[in-house]
Structure 1
Amino acid sequence: MESILKIENIEKYYGNKTNLTKAIDNISFEVQRGEFVAIMGASGSGKTTLLNCISTIDKVTSGHIRVAGEDITKLKGNKLNKFRREELGFIFQDFNLLDTLTAYENIALALSIQNVSASTIEKRIKQVANQLDIEKVLNKYPYQMSGGQKQRVASARALVTSPKLILGDEPTGALDSKSAKMLLERFEALNKELKATILMVTHDAFSASYASRVIFIKDGKIFNEVIRGDSSRKVFFNKIIDVVTILGGELNDAL
């Protein structure tokens, strides 16, 4: 299998010599093409810092992060911006849609920046809108949509450029349970049918149970991982809860 994401001995420090915090402590792992991987951990465990480093929002102190063979820790300036724009797709908890643009225009923006032709933009948007069941809201503005619809539009914006890696930062965090379940089912379908490679940080065991593998972070290190394999989602959910229990504390505290 092809490795889409390769994390090699990364460390991340914050602060100065008198007050130094090690947020990531020598983490290494890989994500293969077509995998759906969730990252879980307690608040302050380092999972968000890890995602920020992978998404190029933050920089590692040492180590390497390779996406589709490209060492992103060495990219700077326009090369970094181009890579972020063309190879990574972002799905945020708070949607990050532009209120003055329709759903169609929000999705199209990602392609317009890449100078894609109008006819190709229309074709790609129709395709991704069908996959995420948002055809009926393409001409609506964000204030006219439900939270679930907005998150699916945000997901379409991330997918429409066909990125090598899709990064989700608590993508279901602002959704009600019904909308969250619908979005996760779409993610699962996109992963299985289109072989989309997804890395999702989540505090929620239910959300993580839709992934094919879950990596647990504790105190900046990889604590454990569980692989779904042929297990049902319910069985996998129970495996996730077992690790959470080992991590200690109440479920809501640990996640």
Structure 2
Amino acid sequence: MKEILQVKDIEKYYGNKGNVTKAINNISFNVEEGEFVGIMGPSGSGKTTLLNCISTVDNVTTGNIKINGKEITKLKSKSIEKFRREELGFIFQDFNLLDTLTAFENIALALTIQEGKKAKNIRERVLEVARKLDIEEVLSKFPYEMSGGQKQRVAAARAIITNPSLILADEPTGALDSKASRLLLDSFEKLNEEMKATILMVTHDAFTASYAHRILFIKDGRVFNELIRGNDSRKEFFNRIIEVVTLLGGDTNNVF
């Protein structure tokens, strides 16, 4: 299986000589094409810094990161925007939709930027993805006319529309109620299983994490533990996740 993401011996420091914080401490892992991987850890563990480094928002201090064979730690600033546009899809907790565009226009925007894309092909692609995520009925609506769950599924459609090598999701259910969270996570399963999307998701929530194939637990900037779902049901995997969260000192009363 092709490795889409390769993280090797990365470290990240903040501060100056008198006050240095080590946010990431020698982390290495790979993500294969078609995997759905979750990253969990308590507040301040380094999971958001790790995602920022992978997404090219931040730079590592030492180590290497490759996405689809490209060494991103050596990308020049003028190449980063093109790389993000072609290789990465993003799903944020606060949706990040453009208020002045309809759902259709928000999803189609990334395709319109690409050269050689005809309007007919863009429309067909948007409708195809919208059907997969059950958001056809909101395509003509503006963000203020949609629920939080609908906005997040539109954001998921926007992330997959260009067939990126890797989708990065940062606390995607953080602003959603339990029903909307389930619908979004069902959409993630469709993206992963039917559209072969490779997903790396940061979450503090054990129920959300139970949808992934594999979980990396981060503590004090290191990979503390790893769980592989295997043939477990989602409920069985959830219970195993809770055991590790307890070891990490997490709050198991706020996992749904």
The TM-score with structure 1 as length reference comes to 0.97
What is the CA distance between 1:252 and its match in structure 2? 5.5
Aligned residue pairs total 255
Paired letter, 2:76: K
1:66 corresponds to: 66
2:206 corresponds to: 205
Structure 2 residue 246 is matched with structure 1 residue 228: no
Deviations along 1:82-123, whole A, 9 cap, x unmatched?
Answer: 110111000000000010100011111111121322122111
What is the CA distance between 1:253 and its match in structure 2? 8.2
Paired letter, 1:203: H
What's the C-alpha RMSD, in Å, of the aligned pairs? 1.4
1:145 corresponds to: 146
Q: 2-side partners of 1:76 and 1:44: how far apart?
A: 29
SS of 1:186's equivalent?
helix
2:27 corresponds to: 27
CA contact (8 A) 2:206 2:255 kept: no
Of 193-202 and 211-220, more deviation after overlay is shown by 193-202
Deviations along 1:121-179, whole A, 9 cap, x unmatched?
Answer: 11110111011111110000000000000000011100100000000000010001000
Of 94-103 and 239-248, more deviation after overlay is shown by 239-248
1:81 corresponds to: 81
1:192 corresponds to: 193
Change (3 A) 1:156 1:217: same
1:12 corresponds to: 12
Change (3 A) 1:196 1:249: closer
Consecutive aligned runs of 4 or more in structure 1 exceeding 4 Å deviation = 252-255
Paired letter, 1:235: E
CA contact (8 A) 1:244 1:254 kept: no
Structure 2 residue 225 is matched with structure 1 residue 241: no
SS of 1:8's equivalent?
strand
Paired letter, 1:59: N
Of 167-176 and 109-118, more deviation after overlay is shown by 109-118
CA contact (8 A) 2:207 2:255 kept: no
Q: 1-side partners of 2:250 and 2:213: how far apart?
A: 25
